[in-house]
Chain A
Amino acid sequence: MLLAVLSGFIIATITPLAGKLFRSKWSVGLTAVPLALFIYFLSFIPAVSNGQVLLFNYEWVPSMGINFNFLLDGLSLLFALMITGIGALVYLYTSSYMKDDPGLDKFYGYLSLFMSAMLGMVMSDNLFTLFIFWELTSISSFFLIGFDNENKESRKAALISMALTGLGGFFLLAGFAIVANITGTYTISEMMGSGDIFKDHPLYIVIIICFFLAAFTKSAQFPFHFWLPGAMKAPTPVSTYLHSATMVKAGIYLLARFTPLLGDHIYWNNTLMIVGGITMVYAAFHSILKKDLKEILAYSTISALGMLVFLLGLGHAEAFIAMAVFIVVHALYKATLFLITGILDHETGTRDINRLSGLRKVMMPLAIAGFLAVLSNSGIPPSFGFVGKDLIYSATLHSETLAIFITVAAVVTNIFLLYSSFLAGIKPFAGKLPSEYKDVHMPDWRMWVPPLICGIAGIVFGIFPMLAEGSIIRPAVSAIAPEVPEFHLQLWHGFNTVLGLSAITIIVGILLYVIFKPNDRHNAWMNKFESFSPKSIAAGVNKLFMKFAVTWTNLLQNGYLRIYVLTVISFLTILLAYKAFTVSSLDINLTKISALTSAEVAVMVILIVSVLYAVYSPSRLAAIAAMGVIGYCICLVFIFYSAPDLAMTQFTIDTLTVILFLLVMYRLPKYVLYTNKLIRIRDAIISLIFGTLITLLALEVHHEPTNKETTRFYAENSYALAKGKNIVNVILVDFRGMDTMIEIIVLSISALGVFALLKLQLNEFDREI
């Protein structure tokens, strides 16, 4: 199982290293991988349909409790079959669709990365492995959307989608962190049954907000939906695979997986119903206004995703059944339509719905596939879509709240979806064939067979719904709902309200198709509202955010060294003052301090004068000289306290520092007085406060009893053990000889630096960074 899940990663690693092999016609061989996986997962159907939950555990990072714990139940099997099944078709299709692309090997690499990530995600029983795979799907999607990397629009779309799904990802991580904290385990199957812990937990709201943000960004729910139409810049196989059949359903998967834990709560259900409801109506409405085939399909996908979220929000078993069926239905017909769109684009060079017509005359098998997909999409019997739509209507009718209102919403959505499916699946093939497309011919079989298979599957499941029922739908639903009522998928339920609603949908939809034609005027009309759309609002927010970032950064990083120093000192002063007044008791005893001698007083006066001079001097040179004087005064102080060796060191260092400073200053522009009086007063006040605080600190330390252990040890042993009579010398060269040695090295390094500063003059050509 580990190999099965990770096989895509292995391919992704091999492809860049395999050179030309996967750029050639042999790339079609890669189709074997998803196909084999599909068959492999099919083999689990008997076990899973018996209600078994299969667990596979492989250690990875056991110290952290993050392992490859894979779980195969109905829900994950449903997704796994979709991922590998549609994956196999897309791989086959790609080998012809992209055969002239020089980056074909990379394309397969990213695609395989995605497939593995998606498989891993739906199989993960471990929170953080799930998260890892979740993020990997986003990353592979980023690379695939930006595959046509020299196209500005592609890059922009890749950035927007990555930013949104990435943001959601971080919230998911946060959500998982809280969930793990509450339950004390990372394993999802161990958490099952602890739903009440969450619902009573004070952090429940935070958790579901995190989950919602993750799921809604990933599954393109309003108001985060706008990345998905942009993502259609990716090559068509990607749109088919990632952005309609699988990846965008990751959010749905997440919500479904955690429904037993977090669901059945008023906040959970209502949010999902409202967001899903808005999304499905909003996107379905948009889908009828577009005339680019891919855009139409993008919006109808968003609408379908909204429908799924909405069904999850209804929260009863019937709705879950409808959802499970609809996932399959949608994957099949949407894949067909996308693949067909790809072929049309490939062969005719346009996706404009108004320019395409009559192509059935040259592409009969495709027309059949399109027709079958439309049947399923519109919910016309005997398709699987009909079964699905019936289930949706009966689920909305049986809702406890607002049954009528939400049923109307579902009907309206379905009408729009029917209309847009006619546009995508029938319009290009019906009517007269324009002369410009007379020479259009069927593509390679690798391209037209996959959509046909998908289209046929949609009908086969419709006629024989029992094929899907026990094998996959029931186990999937039982993973979400606590108890699954007895149900049978069937085409014919007899005459009832649901059938009536279906009839209304189909009739109104077809009427709409006959009357309403997509054109630029509609789109232009819609564009008037563009500034209120989530996309524009997001752009506005982004702009505001950038403005804030610029202001904040310029405020702090203003380029003035003096402000930096001021900030640092003020920060320290505030902290010190706070501490000094709250915790430390000021208790200073001046009697301990010995009296000053006249020489000391003289040195102090020189010191203070030089400090003031350094501060007030208008010339840099003079200021540096004054600094030198200060250093020498300190040397004198050392001498007064009988430390001539220290004084010598200080003397050397000080001289060197002054020279270094001069060299640096020499290259700076002329000294200009920028500050006004007010600023200088402010600086003086802060300096005084800071100086006072440090002085107080020094005095207070002086007041504390000192531990003389070290001093005593040095005094006792400097002659006895170290054979030196001068304690200071012994400390410098023996007790702490290491320090001295390193300080000597410091001096040598500075000498090196001074030498380079003085001598190394680079010319323009050598200054490259």
Chain B
Amino acid sequence: MIENLIIIPVLFQLLLAITLLFFFRKIKTQKVISISGSIVAVVIAAFLFHQVYDEGILTMQAGNWQPPFGITFVADAFSTTMVLLASISSLAVTAFSSVTIKKARLRFGYFPSLHFLIMGLNGAFLTGDIFNLYVWFEVIIISSFVFITLGGKKVQLEGAVKYFTLNFLASILFLTAIAVLYGLTGSLNMADLAGKIKQINNQGLVQVTAILFLVGFGIKSAIFPLYFWLPDSYHTPQAAISAVFAGLLTKVGIYALLRTFSLIFVPDDFIKTLIVIIAGLTLISGALGAMVQTNMRKMFSYLIVCHIGYIIGGLGMFTTAALAGAIFYLIHDIIVKTNLFLVGGIVFKITGETHMKKMGGIYSAYPGLSLLMAIPLFSLVGVPPLSGFWPKIDLMQEAFFSGNYFLSGCIIFGSFITLLVIIRFWSEAFWKKNEQKELKPHVKYYGTMPASQKLFLVGPILLLSLVSLYIGLGAENIIRLSDQIAAELMDTSVYIEAVLGTSHTIDTP
């Protein structure tokens, strides 16, 4: 019954969350359960990944109803990679949370919400059913909403309202699109949809549906011109929460885009051109936004937007190599963006500031830690041979190859501005001399923490930095993986066969 393994990453998080609810007010117990549980989750995810990578796609039918009538769960290389990355990120975040999140918040269900969120992410990655995907999105949006409002002040709630409104709008569009799709095909199983959608006479209607999906997922992925909720909300919650959001939330939108626009809808020229233009403008807008920010966390938020452009650009070009570049970027981005916000958290703990002009002196005070934090920062920039560099080769080459000079220009522009803002940040926060100023009473400074707490702050960053270094220096393995995923996205027959079986023929009424 190896295929039941698929659901374990989901169920395990559910179990964790429920167990944590039993210890609602016992923070210490919660911390222990959460961190050790997250370690187990990484092991489970790694095992599942290993299984799928070696043996091929696994499928599971909920309630044992034959597809396409029940709900199917599918673990292919793409989804298990995402689950693995999500588990690693969440492990880092749980550890980081255990010392940075205030007790008051921990006493109001912080950890259970976190594990519900991770459960939602894992579910979304593993499901093979479009409506089930919608339901997982609900889990994600509601638990992230709980997260973003938890013990919030005015600015946090204001951000939350924008976040919720636009994401909810996205969900409505998504649901409308599913309704239309169901009306057209009578099916919700994604593998089944792939076949049925081709048999529809009115392909114009299919394209309209594709637009709905594009905009719905586009909002969640924070692409141009649908990203507004992100820079307005991501800087408001605590660093650990922002880290999960930055690393994983927009990525689940991207995952859904990549999945639906390879499996269900094969992009036509119009969609491809549209996506490429959107990608370029996302890169430009995100870069320009990051350029003007003086608030560290806002700048990071804009960088999230900016870098979505690379992945979307890969989708827009829709060749195996471009998709491989996009997937590689996605893998890199999940780890590095989570880490980036954790770094932001430590920078705040050291300086007590989020405003870059007021920071300084980190390099002189903590040279070793600074160099550690330089790893994610420069990986983000894509300084070769760190992780962000590799996918750009693929993307750049494909952009020139397919004659998308606009996109190549935008890729250069986005990379350049990222470089600029990160070295500026480095110079301000790390190099500049710290102006002696009074310590703020409500900030718990890094310098005053006992070593055990420092360990939980630095440990997660070290973990994610090592993963980043591995992605960069061991690029060979990641490239093989992303090539395989890209090949599977381009040739969906393997996926469809795994779900529906070889003998499956579509019988029309």
Chain A positions within 8 Å of B, measured between CB atoms, are 16, 60-64, 66, 103, 106, 128, 131-132, 135-136, 139, 142, 146, 149-150, 152, 155, 158-159, 162-163, 166-167, 170-171, 173-174, 177-178, 180-181, 203, 545-546, 548-550, 552-553, 556-557, 559, 561, 564-565, 567-568, 571-572, 575-576, 579-580, 583-585, 664, 667-668, 694, 697-698, 700-702, 704, 706-714, 717, 734-739, 742-743, 745-746, 749-750, 752-753, 755-757, 759-762, 764-769
Identify the stretch in B158-166, B245-253, B446-454, B492-500 within 8 Å (CB) of chain A at 4 or more residues.
Answer: B158-166
Residues of chain A with a CB closer than 8 A to B149's CB: 664, 753, 756-757
Residues of A within 8 A of B113 (CB): 749, 752-753
29 A-B contacts (beta carbon < 8 Å): A63-B480, A64-B475, A64-B479, A136-B384, A149-B427, A150-B364, A150-B432, A167-B416, A177-B393, A203-B400, A550-B292, A552-B285, A553-B292, A572-B215, A575-B274, A583-B207, A584-B208, A697-B208, A704-B183, A706-B184, A710-B69, A735-B70, A738-B62, A745-B139, A749-B116, A749-B142, A752-B113, A753-B113, A766-B102
What's the minimum C-beta distance from B403 to chain A, rounded to whole angstroms?
Answer: 10
Q: Mark B164-206, 1 if CB is under 8 A from A, else 0.
A: 0110010001001001100111111000000010001111110
Binds A, one of B25-33, B45-53, B79-87, B224-232: B224-232
| CB–CB A163/B420 < 8 A | yes
Using a CB–CB distance below 8 Å, which chain B residues touch chain A? 14, 62-63, 65, 68-71, 102-105, 108-109, 112-113, 116, 119, 123, 131-132, 135-136, 138-139, 142-143, 145-146, 149-151, 153-154, 157-158, 160-162, 165-166, 169, 173, 176, 179-180, 183-188, 196, 200-205, 207-208, 211-212, 214-215, 219, 225-226, 228-229, 231-232, 236-239, 274, 285, 288-289, 291-292, 348, 354, 363-364, 367-368, 371, 378, 383-385, 389-390, 392-394, 396-397, 399-401, 408, 412, 415-416, 419-420, 423-424, 427, 430-433, 441-444, 475-476, 479-480, 483, 507-509
**Shortest beta-carbon distance from A215 to chain B in Å:** 16
B residues less than 8 Å from A667 (CB atoms):
154, 157
- Whether B401 lies near A181 (C-beta < 8 A) is yes
CB pair B184–A701 under 8 Å, yes or no, is yes
Whether the Cβ atoms of B14 and A745 lie closer than 8 Å is yes
Chain A residues within an 8 Å CB radius of B162: 561, 564
Question: Do A749 and B285 touch (CB < 8 A)?
Answer: no
Q: Which of A549, A711, A738, A752 contacts B288 (CB 8 A)?
A: A549
CB distance from A747 to the nearest CB of B (A): 9
Please state if B479 and A166 are interface contacts (CB–CB under 8 Å). Answer: no
Minimum C-beta distance from A409 to chain B (A): 34
Q: Given A149-B363, A150-B432, A568-B226, A742–B139 Cβ distance below 8 Å?
A: yes
The answer to whether B412 touches A174, judged by C-beta atoms less than 8 angstroms apart, is: yes
From A150, A546, A711, A769, contact of B291 by CB (8 A): A546
B202 touches A585 (CB 8 A): yes
New A-B pairs, 7, CB < 8 Å, besides A16-B367, A567-B228? A135-B383, A146-B427, A180-B397, A564-B162, A738-B63, A749-B116, A769-B237
Q: Is chain B's binding surface mostly helix, strand, loop or mixed?
A: helix
Which A residues are in CB contact (< 8 Å) with B367? 16, 103, 106
Nearest CB in chain A: distance from B145 CB, A = 6
B151 touches A767 (CB 8 A): yes
Q: How far is the CB of A49 from chain B (nearest CB, A)?
A: 33
**Which residue of chain A has the shortest Cβ distance to B160 in the bound complex?**
A664
Min CB gap A738→B, angstroms: 4
Residue pair B151, A766 in contact (C-beta under 8 Å):
yes
Of B105, B165, B231, B364, the residue contacting A760 (CB under 8 A) is B105
Question: In angstroms, how far is the closest chain B Cβ from the Cβ of A333?
Answer: 33
Q: A553-B292, A702-B183, A707-B508 are known contacts. Are A63 and B476 too (CB-CB below 8 A)?
A: yes
Residues in A whose Cβ lies below 8 Å from that of B62:
737-738
Contact partner of A575 among B105, B215, B378, CB < 8 A?
B215
> Contact check: which of B112, B200, B229 meets A752 at CB < 8 Å?
B112
A178 touches B427 (CB 8 A): no
- Closest Cβ of chain A: how far from B383's Cβ, in Å? 6
Identify the closest chain B residue to A558 (Cβ). B228
- List chain B residues, Cβ under 8 A from A556: 225, 228, 285, 289
Question: Which residues from A are CB-within-8-Å of B161?
Answer: 561, 664, 668
* Beta-carbon contact of A749 and B102 below 8 Å: no
Docked CA distance A557–B188 (Å): 36
**Cβ 8 A contact of A174, one of B14, B112, B176, B400:** B400
Q: Say yes or no: A756 contacts B442, CB within 8 Å.
A: no
For the complex formed, measure the closest distance between the CB of A546 and the CB atoms of chain B, giving whole angstroms: 7
CA distance A742 to B14 in the complex (A): 10
Q: How far is it, in angstroms, between the C-alpha of A556 and the C-alpha of B354 when the chains are bound?
A: 23
Q: Are A766 and B104 in contact (CB under 8 A)?
A: yes
Q: Which residues of A contact B68 (CB under 8 A)?
A: 710
Compute how far the CA of A738 lies from the CA of B119 in the bound complex, rounded to whole angstroms: 13
B142, A750: Cβ atoms closer than 8 Å: yes
Given A63-B483, A568-B169, decide whether A743 and B416 contact each other with a Cβ distance below 8 A: no
Contact B123–A700 (Cβ < 8 Å): no
B402 CB → nearest A CB, Å: 10
Contacts of A64 in B (CB 8 A): 390, 393-394, 475-476, 479
Cβ distance A677 to chain B, nearest Cβ, rounded Å: 24
Complex Cα distance A40/B289, Å? Answer: 50
Structural contact, A159 and B135, CB atoms closer than 8 A: no
Q: How far is the CA of A17 from the CA of B508 in the complex (A)?
A: 68
Partner of A579, one of B185, B207, B368: B207
Distance of B168 from chain A, by nearest CB (Å) = 10
- In the bound complex, residues from chain A placing their C-beta under 8 Å from that of B415 are 170
The complex places the Cα of A460 from the Cα of B507 at a distance, in Å, of 90
Contact A753 B151 (CB under 8 A): no
Who on chain A is nearest to B508 by CB? A707
* Residue of A whose beta carbon sits closest to that of B419: A166
* Residues in B whose Cβ lies below 8 Å from that of A583: 203-204, 207-208
A16 touches B142 (CB 8 A): no
- How many whole Å from B379's CB to the nearest CB in chain A? 12
A565 to B109, CA, bound (A): 31
A584 near B202 with CB under 8 A, answer: yes
**A764 CA to B442 CA in the complex, in Å?**
8
Distance in Å: Cβ of A580 to nearest Cβ of chain B: 6
Q: Are B441 and A668 interface neighbours, CB within 8 A?
A: no
Q: Given contacts A557-B232, A575-B211, are A735 and B63 in contact (CB under 8 A)?
A: yes
Q: Which residues on the B side are within 8 Å of A707 (C-beta)?
A: 184-187, 196, 508-509
CB distance from B226 to the nearest CB of A (A): 5
Nearest to A769 among chain B residues (CB) is B238
Q: Report yes or no: A768 in contact with B102, Cβ–Cβ below 8 A.
A: yes
A residues near B179, Cβ cutoff 8 Å = 701
Assess whether B441 is in contact with A765, with CB atoms less than 8 Å apart.
yes
Contact A568 B231, beta carbon cutoff 8 Å: no
CA distance A750 to B146 in the complex (A): 7
**When chains A and B are docked, how far (Å) is the Cα of A714 from the Cα of B70?**
10
Q: Which residues of B lie under 8 Å from residue A753 when comparing CB positions?
A: 113, 142, 145-146, 149-150
Evaluate contact between B166 and A565: CB separation under 8 angstroms.
Answer: yes
Contact B416 A166 (CB under 8 A): yes
Pair B476/A60 contact, Cβ less than 8 Å: yes
Q: Please give the distance in Å from B165's CB to the nearest CB on chain A.
A: 6
Residue of A whose beta carbon sits closest to that of B68: A710
- Give bound CA distance, A700 to B476, whole Å: 50
- B443 CB, nearest partner CB in chain A, Å: 6
Contact among A103, A181, A549, A559 with B232 in the assembled complex (CB-CB below 8 Å): A559
Q: Does B400 lie within 8 Å of A755, measured CB to CB?
A: no
CB distance from B17 to the nearest CB of A (A): 8
* Distance A559 CA – B228 CA, assembled complex (angstroms): 8
Nearest CB of B to A668, in Å: 7
B151, A756: Cβ atoms closer than 8 Å = yes
Q: Determine if B238 and A739 form an interchain contact, defined as CB atoms under 8 angstroms apart.
A: no
Tell me which of A136, A585, A717, A766 contacts B204 (CB under 8 A).
Answer: A585
A152 to B435, alpha carbons, bound, how many Å? 13
Nearest A residue to B480 via CB reads: A63
Residues of A within 8 A of B444 (CB): 768
| Closest CB in chain B relative to A701 CB, distance in Å | 4
In Å, the complex CA distance between A142 and B374 comes to: 13
